[in-house]
Amino acid sequence: MRQYKDNFIFRQRWQSWLKKTRAKDMNTLLRNEELTEAFDSLLPIYGIWDGMRLTTIHKIIPMRCPELILNYLEGMKNFYSDLVDGEEDAMQRIDSATVKSIELRAPRASTRDAKFLYSEIHGGRIFSGFSASERERIWGRLQMFEGLVPSLYTFFRDVLYLELLTNSVRRLTQVPKNKSLIEALQKRFTGVKQDDGLIKIQRTEGTFMHGKGNRAGQIDYGIRQLFAFAMREYPFIPREPEKEDLLLQQPRAHADPSVLHCFADLASDLGFASDEITALQRLGTAAKRTYPRSRPILVTSGSGVAPARRCGKPRIQSFKADRNLLFVYHLHDTRQDQGDGITSFFVRKSVYLAFFGRPSGMGNAANMGEHMADPEDPEDPEDTEDADSVLSYYHRQDRDQSQETSGIDQNGGQSQTSTAQEERRQEQELQERLEQERIERVMSDHEKLMQRIRGRQRLGQEIEEQRRQEQLRQEEERRQEQLRQEEELKRRLNEEQLQREHLRQERQAEDEHEQEKVEIRFKVWKRHDWKALPSIYAHPEDSSEVERNAKKYIRRNFRTLDTELQMLAPRDCFQAVIDDRTHTILLVSQHDLLHTDEMAESAKRLHDDALRVLELKRRAEEDISRGHPRRKAR
């Protein structure tokens, strides 16, 4: 319908085919210019439109998050455009079967997905509208894509998940008319509890770190962290109940006051302030949640999450497994692991980045700088990844040991000299430990790098083997096809020969049948003479045509006679003139039935002439038949 947007008649005709509710949803979409333009930008990609769901449009507008929706749609457009180097004609050749095969696949992270897509592409089963060389270039771009391949189908499924998150975040502020939720949160940012030039990043519950940035970065990361909290807690923060005077539809779960309190505290810590946040902080007591310090696993050696479960609302088991890891510190991690399948955290991270994109500025959260710990949560060096944090931990240990040594001196136990020696020994041990840990980290990183290289080499070998097997299979298919075509050609030639022989026999039989036909002459008495009428050729075994013509003349008030002026019935005409060998039927009108001598004499002459003609014809045929053997002999 959008392709005919400039043609009123065609547009109205298409719109008339929509059901009432879908027509309403379409009008809702068309009134939003930003969304309409975003969907219009996808029109050249014909293959994705099977995933269009008008029935979900009514959920998108009330969410008031156009920025996130547009991010997802723009990322989708960029993905398909980049696959074909931005050529609009090539985008139109991407069919729906191709989109259904590649959507929700993770070609860079999952070797299983990569093998499947490689086989489908090089087998010509997808991207079938492209040449082999074009498919090879497409595969080169596709295998480098990070995340899950998007489509309109995945978009409308993921929108249902985003709706749950926005319901939670809207607890923190009112959204003015004609403003988005993101704009409302930006308006509520005060910068309180934020340090100039630094961005506060929540690493775990109650544990923060800082990275360099400006006020815009503080707002952006702050909003992202509020949505990350919603990703962890949305089951406990359902949508706020409607007004009391509305009809009760279905009981809605109540929000957990302790979770709301914790949510409000986080918003306040990140620099946001509103009446709603203040009200939530008065609810109950914030629940102290303990999140283990673990690094999320992106890939697995097994099949991982099935493609059908890689979009939409997460399942309960997946939510429980990922809940402790859904912090922007992990969601922004840029490492690229590779394994057989992908985990549910990989799916959550991909969906998050599809809506929010990667933040500008800091990049990887693992490199954000100084770690700032909660006083109630002392650091463990085994869990700390930053070298500065490791040093700060050992400095704390060194200070504690120095205080103990100082206490002994006050009690008269050790001299200043021995204390200095002990400090140097501890410092040396510390440096040795740090050097050993650095070496171990380097060795570990090197081993991981080698494993990754070996994995890529193994994948390359497997892909090359698949390519070789595919070439052999295609060659075998071509050979079998050639044999089949040769057999088909032989079969067709045989069939054509049989058909020609059959036609020849049919023509011969028809010729013989025609030769057996005899001429039956009709003559009418008119003006004292017999006038010839059109003759009829009839087969001795089928006299129906002669009988039909005789009846026709009788209906015209004629009577049928033989050459001896004897009346004949229509059914007897043929046999009578065959028997008398004249092959002549006479027709006399009703008023001429009284025989005259003139008519009788004329009829007798006809009789004699007919017999004479037949005799001459018989002799000619005998002469011809006698002449054939002589010609054959010669």
CB-CB contact of 108 with 144 (8 Å): yes
Is the model's pLDDT at 588 over the cut of 70? yes
Distance CA 297, CA 287 (A): 27
Strand order in the sheet with 558-561: 530-538, 518-525, 584-589, 558-561
CA distances from 2 to 26, 39, 96 (A): 11, 9, 19
Distance CA 326, CA 324 (A): 6
β-strands 584-589, 518-525: how paired? parallel
User: Token match 């997802």: residue?
Assistant: 72
CB-CB contact of 200 with 218 (8 Å): yes
Could you tell me what percent of the chain has a pLDDT over 70?
A: 80
Q: What is the pLDDT of residue 363?
A: 45
CB-CB contact of 158 with 106 (8 Å): no
Confidence band (pLDDT; 50, 70, 90) for 385? very low
Q: What is the pLDDT of residue 233?
A: 95
Label residue 303 exposed, middle or buried (CB < 10 Å: 0-12, 13-18, 19+). exposed
The secondary element (H helix, E strand) that includes residue 33 is helix 33-40
Kindly state the tokens that stand for 408: 């002994």
Distance CA 378, CA 337 (A): 30
Q: What is the pLDDT of residue 151?
A: 97
Distance CA 211, CA 201 (A): 8
Q: What is the mean pLDDT of the chain?
A: 82
Distance CA 351, CA 348 (A): 5
Q: What is the pLDDT of residue 408?
A: 38
Q: What is the pLDDT of residue 569?
A: 92
Confidence band (pLDDT; 50, 70, 90) for 24? low
Q: Give whichever of 13-27, 42-56, 159-173 has the largest mean pLDDT.
A: 159-173
In this prediction, residues 55-70 reach a mean pLDDT of: 91
Q: What is the dihedral of CA 259, 263, 269, 274, to 10 degrees?
A: -130
**Whether CATH 3.10.20 fits 518-633:** yes
Q: How many other β-carbons are positioned within 10 Å of the β-carbon of residue 246?
A: 8
User: Token match 């909003």: residue?
Assistant: 223
| Residue 375 identity | P
Q: What is the pLDDT of residue 374?
A: 40
Spatial CA neighbour of 353 closest among 150, 151, 207, 160:
150
Q: What is the pLDDT of residue 387?
A: 30
Q: What are phi and psi of 17, to 5 degrees?
A: -80, -15
Distance CA 298, CA 307 (A): 15
Classify 172 as helix, strand or coil. helix
Q: What is the pLDDT of residue 313?
A: 96
Query: In the chain, where are the structural domains located?
Result: 33-157, 179-241+254-367, 389-406+420-513, 518-633
Q: How many other β-carbons are positioned within 10 Å of the β-carbon of residue 123?
A: 14
Q: How many other β-carbons are positioned within 10 Å of the β-carbon of residue 348?
A: 24
CB-CB contact of 15 with 54 (8 Å): no
Is the model's pLDDT at 406 over the cut of 60? no
Kindly state the tokens that stand for 589: 């009108």
Distance CA 364, CA 335 (A): 8
Q: Give whichever of 301-315, 505-519, 566-580 has the largest mean pLDDT.
A: 301-315
